[in-house]
Structure 1
Amino acid sequence: MRKTLLLTGVAAVAALALAGCSPAASSPSATGTASWPDSITISLVPSVEGEDLAEALDPLTSYLSENLGIEVNGVVATDYAATVEALGSDQAQVIITDAGSLYNATERYDANLVLRDVRFGATSYASVAYTNNPDKYCAEAPVMVTYAASDTPLSYCNGIEPGADAATGAGPAALKALDKISKGTKVALQAATSPAGYQYPVVAMRDAGIDTDADITQVPVEGNNNAVLSVYNGDAEVSFGYWDARTTVLKEAPDVADKVVAFAYTEMIPNGGVAVSKSLPADLTKQLTTLMAGYADSSDAAKKVMFDLVGLSGWTDKTAPDEITRYGEILDQFSN
């Protein structure tokens, strides 16, 4: 297993503005079975910016402090790699981070993966192969199925959405259709760090026997919206983006469902989640996990904080560690 971080961590630690993170053990646990620290620190990369950070963190940390009976501090990391190094150096004992950093934290520092992010009811998502040439890539005429998150009918083919009522986005599906990507085909790909826009699609194409350096013409794009628009505008014949990125361009391309068809799904890409330092007592870890898992449902205000803070609808203790491990294996292919 890989024991090196994907990004250099020394600078990342220096970039953290950490405060109040001493974990000196002195307080008894609620059960009396182990010593708890006086305080713990959570490191995360929030969705909000600037002066709203302290205000955004306070409801979550206050909720945890009140229910655990110890001080819980929240600190902002400059990037996801910094959360891992904060945990490794014991500047933070809990991290809310992306899937790659969860993998690094568990591999490098033996952290405990305790929660996975939930977005619109899902803990993982597929990368979607899009095309403007369904005659080439679809075995049958595309069908319209509703994407429930935005209540929008979108076009799918190759049976990747077998139900008529609502799309599920469950992969892998119809990956044999990638065989139809012929030499010289223009394929829009996002930055090499993008799981849905580059990494999982490239692995899927390589598995289909496609030399992604020599057999296709790569069309670089920035962002999932531009991946969709590249196919919509005819700049590429195939592109890849998260499920379902077509909804990001509905205002500027209201007929995108007609012109951009989803024809295959990659393996599922895991959401991020929460990891906890192995140094924390087991009973503290258990109570913390239970509290965080229930936070979004504790009040309407908490639900709003969750979405505003990290763009989530909640956390689940169904961690599916095999997905995180597979993500790490795929990341290994792009680590050099």
Structure 2
Amino acid sequence: MRKPIVAASIFAAAALVLTGCGAADNGDSTASDTEWPEEITISLVPSTENADLAEALTPLTSYLSDELGIKVNGVVASNYAATVEALGADQAQVIITDAGSLYNAINQYDAELILRDVRFGASSYAAVAYTNNPDKYCDDEPVKATYAANDVELSFCNGIEQAGEASTGTGPAATESLENIDKGTKVALQAATSPAGYQYPVVAMQAAGIDTDKDITQVPVEGNNNAVLAVYNGDAEVAFGFWDARSSVLTEAPDVADKVVAFAYTDMIPNGGVAVSSNLPDDLVAQLTELMDGYVDSSDEAKQVMTDLVSLTDWTAEINQDEIDRYGEILQKFSN
């Protein structure tokens, strides 16, 4: 699962209207006695602009229609916050959205988290601490491990990855090495709304005893690629980005694996996922969860739809809500 997810993140709102039948109409003898609504709306945010999103959604809506035995339509909404607002107003009963919006939907409207987004096998990812000064931040010699998303070897130290193996990006790891960020160190940080480029790194540095307002020289950058390039070009000694942002600069910095070393991982940052209204019947939620969880394996077309529509490789029913809750705590810390 992963990036970044994410963010990297980039979703849209889609509504799936499930009309015309109760649970008994599906021939499910074990279904609950609660009557299904005549229609429900599933709201999601696509990763790319599409002139006809409804048409792009057709494979997904057709799959759900065929399997549920009821009509499913797709529509579009504008952003992550809108998905939560739609659920709160009962304009949508299912949302596919980012982690922060999942947290808000769960806590504001008692939504139920049913699936998590998967990117390249990961449903969460760490913010990575990068440096061009391994003598200062590494307790051992950097080693090379393979980033599976694009099969490139990158450098790591402090035992956060194993030499010759596939990197896992699992944190927290080696966060004590952040204590080596001494007064005046230039640290490249992204916008304050970036989980991997600012929020989780700031929390990790503060936990290491660093006053991030006074002890470091913040070097503002836009985007994970520019965070890596700030270290690569010597504009900063340390930078933070998603796992593994170095793969985004291979064209302009083909030797980035030698010049930029990953030396620590923060706590895991969750991908988004799918949440449903507490008003939906349990049997409808169960069937919808199973169908969406299995969608990517239903056809080659489904795999392409997932990639093109929401930049995902799968959904998983392993929700790990504690990661979403922790993310919400960090969002609240930076809300002002």
TM-score, structure 1 normalization:
0.91
Structure 1 unaligned residues grouped into runs of 5+: 1-15
Counterpart residue number, 2:195: 195
Aligned to 2:333: 333
Alignment match, 1:13: none
Match of 2:319 in 1: 319
Counterpart Cα distance in 1 of 2:85 and 2:95: 10
Contact 2:13 2:44 in 1 (8 A): no
Q: Which residue of 2 aligns with 1:95?
A: 95
Q: Give the equivalent residue in structure 2 for 1:6.
A: none
Q: Which residue of 1 aligns with 2:212?
A: 212
Residue 4 of structure 1 aligns with which residue? Answer: none
Q: Give a deviation string over 1:128-169, Cα, whole Å, max 9, x none.
A: 000001111111111111111111110000111135321111
Most deviating of 161-170 and 196-205: 161-170
CA contact (8 A) 2:187 2:217 kept: yes
Shift of 1:52: 3.5
Which amino acid is 1:242 matched to?
A: F
The answer as to whether partners of 2:100 and 2:331 remain within 8 angstroms in 1 is: yes
Q: 1:38, CA displacement in angstroms?
A: 1.8
1:254 paired with 2:249, answer: no
| Aligned counterparts of 2:75 and 2:180: Cα–Cα separation in 1 | 48
One-letter amino acid matched to 1:285: V
Q: Secondary structure at the match of 1:95?
A: strand
In the alignment, the residues of structure 2 paired with residue 24 and residue 83 of structure 1 have an alpha-carbon distance, to the nearest angstrom, of: 20
Indicate the residue corresponding to 1:307 in structure 2. Answer: 307
**Secondary structure, aligned partner of 2:304:** helix
Letter in 1 for 2:22: S
Aligned length: 320
Q: What is the deviation of 1:20?
A: 8.3
- Which residue identity lines up with residue 50 of structure 2 in the other structure? G
The answer to whether structure 1 residue 164 and structure 2 residue 159 are counterparts is no
Q: Secondary structure at the match of 1:48?
A: coil
Q: Alpha-carbon deviations, 1:80-135, whole Å to 9, x = none?
A: 11101111101111100001111111000000100000110111100000000111
Counterpart check, 1:143 vs 2:143: yes
* 1:263 and 2:266 are equivalent in the alignment: no
Structure 2: gaps (5+ residues): 1-11
Supply the AA of the counterpart residue of 1:27. Answer: G
Cross-structure match for 1:239: 239
Residues 23-51 of structure 1, C-alpha deviations (whole Å, 9 max, x = no match): 89863443352211122111111012131
Separation in 2 of the partners of 1:90 and 1:113? Answer: 16
Matched with 1:80 is 80
| SS in structure 1 at match of 2:41 | strand
Give, in whole Å, the separation in 2 of the partners of 1:321 and 1:28: 28
* Cα 1:187/1:138, change in 2 over 3 Å: same
SS of aligned partner of 2:324? helix
Moved more, 33-42 or 221-230: 33-42
Structure 1 residues 271, 230: CA separation in 2 closer, same or farther (over 3 Å shift)?
A: same
Secondary structure in 2 matching 1:36: coil
Task: Give the Cα–Cα distance (whole angstroms) in 1 for the partners of residues 269 and 13 of structure 2.
Answer: 30
Of 272-281 and 41-50, the range deviating more from structure 2 = 41-50
1:297 aligns with 2:292: no
The 3-state SS of whatever aligns with 2:96 is: strand
1:27 pairs with 2:22: yes
Following TM superposition, by how much is the alpha carbon of 1:19 offset from its aligned partner in structure 2, in angstroms?
7.5
- Distance of 1:170 and 1:19 partners within structure 2: 34
- Amino acid paired to 1:164: G
Summarize deviations over 1:250-286 as a string: whole Å, max 9, x none. 0110000000000000001011000011111000000
Whole-Å Cα distance in 1 between the matches of residues 22 and 115 of structure 2?
25
Offset from partner CA, 1:65-92 (integer Å, 9 cap, x none): 2211223233322111110111110111
**Contact 1:187–1:237 (CA under 8 A) maintained in structure 2:** yes
Q: Aligned partners of 2:83 and 2:142: how far apart in 1?
A: 43
Determine helix, strand or coil for the equivalent of 1:70: coil
Distance 1:251 1:106 in 2: 41
Contact 1:25 1:35 survives alignment (8 Å): no
Aligned partners of 1:58, 1:266: CA distance in 2, in Å? 39
User: Does residue 115 in structure 1 map to residue 115 in structure 2?
Assistant: yes
Residue 236 of structure 1 deviates from its aligned partner by 0.6
CA distance in 2, matches of 1:282, 1:263: 45
SS at match of 2:302: helix
Aligned to 2:46: 46
Residue range with higher mean Cα deviation, 119-128 or 159-168: 159-168
Cα distance between partner residues in 1 of 2:57 and 2:88: 22
Tell me if structure 2 keeps the 8 A contact 1:17–1:75: yes
The one-letter amino acid of 1:53's match is L
Give the distance between the partners of 1:181 and 1:258, measured in 2 at CA: 21
Identify the residue that residue 5 of structure 1 maps to in structure 2.
none
What RMSD over aligned residues (CA atoms) do the two structures have, in Å? Answer: 1.7
- The normalised TM-score by structure 2 is 0.91
